[in-house]
Chain A
Amino acid sequence: MDDEGRLPFDDQSETEMRRVLSETEYDTDLGLEMARDAQRVVAGELSDAEFYARYHEDMLEEFGQDARELPELRDDLDGEVVSETSDATSVRESLAALADREDVSRRELLAKGGAAAAALSVFAGAGSGSGGEHGDTPTDGDGTRWGMVINLNNCDGCLACVSACSQEHGLSRGANWMYVFTYEDRNQDDENFLVRPCQHCTDSPCTKVCPVGARHTRDEDGLVLTDYDICIGCRYCEVSCPYGVNYFQWGEPDVPDAEIPNEHQLDDRGKWVGSRPPEGVMGKCTFCVDRQDGQMGEERVGTTACEEACAMDAIHFGDLNDEESAPNQHLHEYRGEQENDRSSFPDRTEHTVSTFNLLEERGTSPNVHYIGNEPSPHAEQVEGPVSYEDVGLVDDRSEVLDDGAAANEEGEEA
């Protein structure tokens, strides 16, 4: 990358671009030419208007649509745009770096440089076999989609997130909506952590199986919630969830209803989906729905209790469809920080950072994305650096439930 934030168009990269383009249905020369000019747009050497004027007809002919009508192409820029064509960096990073210098928002610049994006996307679409359809961030379509990027490399297992969640939602002992595993794995000496909130899956089995529609996905932002007013407590959601994130309210909740203000319980549709569930009803992590609806102040929209409590910068909550959101930004920044000597090792992939979705093969499309290593089937949970008891929590809920059952039986005898 040169100082102007442009991609190097040397012979080698041009050969590579030609190869990639020749495999597409698009005109190779046109694509190359557009990519060059797109770079000029980014560098400010060419205006948008000139770019459009130059390529409008070609675009129509080639794509059937102009770039301004091709948001999906523009979205591709958010992904691993020219990962196969640029040696040292991505166009996205070029754009981002430029944005920082020019003090304009990245999103604005991306929008402005839409034509360039479209042109450059030719490469993305053609070449990035490993980048996935949405590139290197979990963006997918328009509209808000709340989610998380959790950096397990940053987690130190302090359980602050678990405590904060429990406190904010008035959870009964052992109902750890947020749960942190400490585990040992084969071929790894270190302690490893897995932070497990509800995955708020896009293809959530729990919403599919719910007989009454109490467990549902909120249309406006993809939150997977439970309508406490209609749940019959059949626990089918819990049985169908591959992650074990559901906690039924087996007995009377530890925190009485009177202690929880209405604004934490009712969402912006007036449905009772927030805070701990009443007796006989299913509960689980809500991604702090009350915060997202502005019930705890505008400044807390886009935050969660666990994220706020995390001093290690492991939990990043936000709109996954927004490139500028905390999770996506963290993903970019963290990737940027990792050393990756691609000049000495040109065949390396652009990123060396390991990311994963939990149990991706279960087909649930989770909206929690992890940075770090995925636990292998041989991983075993061990006692963490901070135990649940240390911070006043209960790890194994069955202890509480057994006590509860025994207490009730004694009560009967008394």
Chain B
Amino acid sequence: MSVDTTDVSRETLVRPIGTLSKQYLLALVAALGAIGVWVFFYLQQLQHGLIVTNLADWGSGGGVPWGLYIGAFIWWVGIAHGGIILSAAVRLLGMDRYQPVARMAELLTIAALTCAGVFILIHVGRPDRLVTSVLPAWPTRVQWSPLMWDVTVITAYFVLTATYLALTIRYDIHRLRDRLPDQLEPVYAVLMVGYSEREDAIVERMVWWIAFAIIIMAPLLLHGGVIPWLFALLPSMAGWAGGVQGPSFLSIALTSAVSGIIIVAASFRRAYGWEELVPVEVFRGLAKWLGFFGLIFLWLQLQQVITGIFAAPTTLQHATEVKIATPVYWVAIGLVLAAMLYVFACSLRPSLFSIPVLVALSFGVLVGTLVEKVLFVVEGLQHAHFQLYDGVPGVYVPSPVELSALLGTVGIVVLFFLVVAKVIPVVELHAIEAAHEGGDDA
């Protein structure tokens, strides 16, 4: 079933660009404030080193050298990948129903990848060397280091997504130019360099192929590949090894990305009265995907727990026992489970469905997936195969410095959407055009 949004006016589409509300300013202040808090703490880290975090050496020190920073990195990359997979699926599989949220998903990908990059930057001890050390080493290290695979694939991904976005924006800007603010003319001029309407058909095909590449790359290579391989390939930690990490990471990525899109789309819908542009059917559809991905997520967790406790090798068994004895793990599982159950209940009784409830549950899912990812990293490091250290497992609670980065990156995403929404339409023009019939009536 497709959702007909073709009679929505172009004024509705560009509504965020022309208006300025109190809520907008409030959100802007909140986002800047969040970023400010993080910058304040990060300056301390720059000044004193990573000693201001609660990270420490594993081994005789009993700490964890990777913690919230890496957990949040994986989480943001997951959101990013899931977002673009959804957008690419819309284009490839003709899932027109989701056309109104496709661009938001793409924008979320860009913002989330940026946040993932921020976490790498603040995670390393020598951020000043990220360029001077990484670039010269690339040709010789890329075939070895899973971290270099990550950097490579994520960079390629960022470029693909940005290209995808830039190409599709041109079509819209050209046709909506008279409704866009003149002050931003220089920005549009850059975005529209060399544009002619003859490129539309070509771009359409190019974008199809980019979407195709994304669909191939993201599940197989990125969140089902290099990100889990960061852990799954190591000989050191009992809870990390194993082929299930790929599917498991991917399921978490998709679950959190759908939640992210639901929240972004619902926010715009509410802020700009977009009931027609992003109809409730879009959310009902997204909810089903959330329920389905949540089911896969829970199923893969079950796989890991069962194989980890039933006659498993001692170190794996120990790691799994600790995992299931950790209350906050069950909080994470419970949050995803709650969303899944709600979605399935709505399928049986559609009257139960409400967007605010879905949004609240989506927040819960995002908290749950973040907790699961941080636990995966931290508890993984606390249960090495080599068990002799008395200090292991030590205690790790993220420091204010680390937590502030989480706040800061959420601020970055909000700020990103607030700014972008004032410059380009966050919903594709295609969404209100009947079946891509063109759009030369500008």
* Chain A residues proximal to chain B, CB less than 8 Å: 174-176, 179, 181, 183, 194, 205, 208-214, 230-236, 238-252, 279-282, 358-359, 362-364, 375, 377, 379-382, 395-398, 401-402, 404-405, 408-409, 412
Contacts and interface: CB of A to CB of B under 8 A. Distances in A.
A214 B133 contact: yes
A249 B66 contact: no
B299 interface: no
A30 B14 CA distance: 95
Given A235-B66, A405-B52, A362 B57 contact: no
Contacts of B126: 231-233, 280-281
B146 A176 contact: no
Given A211-B151, A244-B59, A251-B48, A230 B66 contact: no
B195 interface: no
Contact of A248 (B57, B235, B236, B392): B57
A279 B145 contact: no
A362 B141 CA distance: 22
A209 B147 contact: yes
B124 A233 contact: yes
Contacts of B124: 232-234, 280
Interface in B262-285: none
B125 A211 contact: no
Contacts, number: 190
B348 to A, nearest CB: 45
Interface string B50-85: 111111111111110110000000000000000000
A396 B60 contact: yes
24 contacts: A174-B61, A179-B60, A194-B388, A205-B236, A209-B146, A209-B234, A211-B137, A211-B141, A211-B145, A230-B132, A239-B58, A239-B65, A239-B66, A243-B386, A247-B59, A280-B50, A281-B126, A359-B385, A379-B387, A381-B389, A398-B391, A404-B51, A408-B44, A408-B52
Q: Select the residue from B65, B129, B314, B381 with max chain A CB neighbours within 10 A.
A: B65
Query: By DSSP majority rule, is chain A's interface helix, strand, loop, or mixed?
Result: loop
Contacts of A363: 235
A28 to B, nearest CB: 44
Contact of A397 (B60, B390, B392): B60
A397 B57 contact: yes
Interface string B286-318: 000000000000000000000000000011000
B130 interface: yes
Contacts of B33: none
Interface string B311-328: 000110000000000000
Contacts of A377: 314-315, 387
B62 to A, nearest CB: 6
B145 A208 contact: yes
A396 B61 contact: yes
B399 interface: yes
B61 A239 contact: no
B384 interface: yes
B144 A209 contact: yes
B123 A234 contact: yes
Contacts of B357: none
Nearest to B377: A239
B61 A409 contact: no
Interface in B383-432: 384-392, 394, 399
B60 A176 contact: yes
Contact of B381 (A239, A249, A281, A396): A239
B338 interface: no
B119 to A, nearest CB: 12
Nearest to A245: B59
B384 A244 contact: yes
Contacts of B132: 230
Contacts of A231: 125-126, 129, 133
Contact of B235 (A174, A362, A405): A362
B134 interface: yes
Q: Select the residue from B58, B140, B147, B392 with max chain A CB neighbours within 10 A.
A: B147
A404 B399 CA distance: 13
B153 interface: no
A181 to B, nearest CB: 6
B242 interface: no
Contact of B134 (A212, A380, A382): A212
Contacts of B59: 179, 243-247
Contacts of A358: 386
Q: Select the residue from B127, B137, B237 with max chain A CB neighbours within 10 A.
A: B137
B279 to A, nearest CB: 46
A409 B400 CA distance: 11
B350 interface: no
Contacts of A382: 390
Contacts of B44: 408-409, 412
B204 to A, nearest CB: 38
B148 interface: yes
Contacts of A247: 57, 59, 61
B18 interface: no
Nearest to B59: A244
Nearest to B318: A377
B243 interface: no
B49 interface: yes
A398 B394 contact: yes
Contacts of B53: 405
A248 B50 contact: yes
Contacts of A404: 48, 51
B144 A208 contact: yes
Given A233-B125, A375-B388, A250 B144 contact: no
A350 B20 CA distance: 88
